[in-house]
Amino acid sequence: MRRLRLVPQDTKWDFFSRPALWLGISGALMVAAMVSFFIQGLNFGIDFRGGTTIRTDSAQEVVVSDYRAAIDPLGLGDVTITEVFDPTFDEDQHVTMIRIQAQEGSESVSADLIRDVEAALKTVVPDISFVSVESVGPKVSGELIKTAAIAVLLAIGAVLIYIWLRFEWQFALGAVAALIHDVVLTIGVFSELQIRFDLAIIAALLTIVGYSLNDTVVVFDRVRENLRKYKKLDLKEVLNLSINETLSRTVMTSVTTLLALISLFVLGGDVIRGFVFAMIWGVIVGTYSSVFIASAVLLKLGVKRDWSKPSNTGGNQFANIDA
């Protein structure tokens, strides 16, 4: 029986022939991401900057200017109204998202505001229904940003320590460099495309961290094995060999994960589309970075080769418990 093979058998590709090129591309992308982040900023959802979002549903065609005319007299400051289109909607389903900025001088959420907006919209579109209304006060949103940032840093820190214990510190740095690369590029994409960045995206970011790591660790595991097997081989050769040997698995896993995620992206509805997009992007970037970034950093840092002498780095005493 013929097997589907995404990667030819026994590849001997040289992944380090042009290290400057790959590191250059990644570096440039990261700089671009940061520039975009600092100039344009993220399109924070209400989770992070407070305010109210109202999701409306009506059988009538949406005329955004009518909606705006109804809400503007209330004087609520910055109000964005966007119509949402999605293939999963019924034909007579017209959905909008209305976002109202956090109101000055109030720590909490005002029930009157929501009532006023709903009443105003009802006069323009009588059959409108409010399928979800979410408000977050400025006090909580500030804390949410803080806990989110802590979560991401904690995750990266914990992983750094785990890999350091299981491998060597050079591996840990390589893995974390790849992680930071992935997180920065993901944030860059969100700021460049102005996709709404909310609490769920933090979950996606952390999953990307987990996924990218998964990939990196599999490659590193093979590197560790090959370092012992081929004691005389050049580190670069060992890395190349390891990446080639695991390449088939790397691609297979990425493809199955992408298959699952893409079906969710297309069919899962608009509510989680941003979230799924982040993960799809993360899987692609994560796969790339575990091959090109993590290993390249490892190559730059070098690795202790002589395993016969007792190590004084303290790092590998846990390394071999079940290999």
Partner 1 sequence: MLQIDLWKRVLIWAVCALGLLLAMPNAFYQKVEVRNDAVAAIEMGQSGNELEEQAASWPSFLPSGLVNLGLDLRGGAHLLAEVQVADVYEARIKSLWPEIRDLLRQERATIGTIRLQPSPADELRVKISEPAQIQQAATLVRGLARPVTSLSGALQNDIDVATEGDTIVVQLSEAEKLATDERTVQQALEIIRRRIDEVGTREPTIQRQGSDRILIQVPGIGSAAELKDIIGTTAQLTFHPVVGRGSDAEQSPGAGNDIFPSLDEEGVYYIVESAPVVTGEELVDAQPSFDQNGQPAVSFRFNPTGARKFGDYTAENIGSPFAIVLDNEVVSAPVIQAHISGGSGIITGRFSVEETTNLAVLLRAGALPAGLTFLEERTIGPELGQDSIDAGRIACIVAFGAVLVFMFLSYGMFGLFANIALILNVGLIFGLLSMIGGTLTLPGIAGIVLTIGMAVDANVLVFERIREELKTSKGPARAIDLGYEKALSAILDANITTFITAVILFAVGSGPVRGFAITLGLGILTSVFTAIFVTRLMIVMWFERRRPKTIEV
Residues paired with 196 in a beta bridge: 43
**Interface mask (CB under 8 A) for partner 1, residues 255-294, using x and -?**
xxxxxxx-xx-xxxx-xx--xx--x---------------
24-83 residues near partner 1, rule: CB under 8 A: 55, 57
**Of the candidates 20, 105, 234, 323, which one interacts with partner 1 according to CB under 8 A?**
323
| Rounded least distance, CB 139 to partner 1, Å | 6
Q: Does 150 contact partner 1 by CB under 8 A?
A: yes
CA dihedral 257, 299, 157, 26 (to 10 degrees): -60
The binder of partner 1 chosen from 210, 241, 244, 301 (CB under 8 A): 210
Stretch binding partner 1 (CB under 8 A), from 14-22, 31-39, 101-109, 305-313: 101-109
We find the least distance from the C-beta atom of residue 268 to partner 1, in angstroms, to be 4
Q: Crossing angle for the helix pair 169-193 and 138-166, nearest 10 degrees? A: 150
CA–CA distance, 279 with 183 (Å, rounded to integer): 11
Report, in Å, the least distance between residue 219 CB and partner 1.
9
CA dist., res. 121 & res. 139, Å (int):
28
Geometric angle at alpha carbon 317, from 312 and 318, rounded to 5°: 150
Q: Show contacts with partner 1 in window 162-191 (CB under 8 A).
A: 162-163, 166
Query: In the complex with partner 1, which residue's Cβ is closer, 28 or 262?
Result: 262
DSSP 95-131: EEEEEEPPPTT-SS--HHHHHHHHHHHHHHSTT-EEE
Which one of 31, 59, 154, 193 is in contact with partner 1 (CB under 8 A)?
A: 154
Q: Where are the strands (E) in the chain, listed by range? A: 43-44, 51-58, 79-84, 94-100, 129-136, 196-197
Residues 215-244 that bind partner 1 (CB under 8 A): 215, 217-218, 221-222, 225
Q: Is 22 or 189 the residue whose CB approaches partner 1 more closely?
A: 189
Query: Does residue 11 bind partner 1 (CB under 8 A)?
Result: no
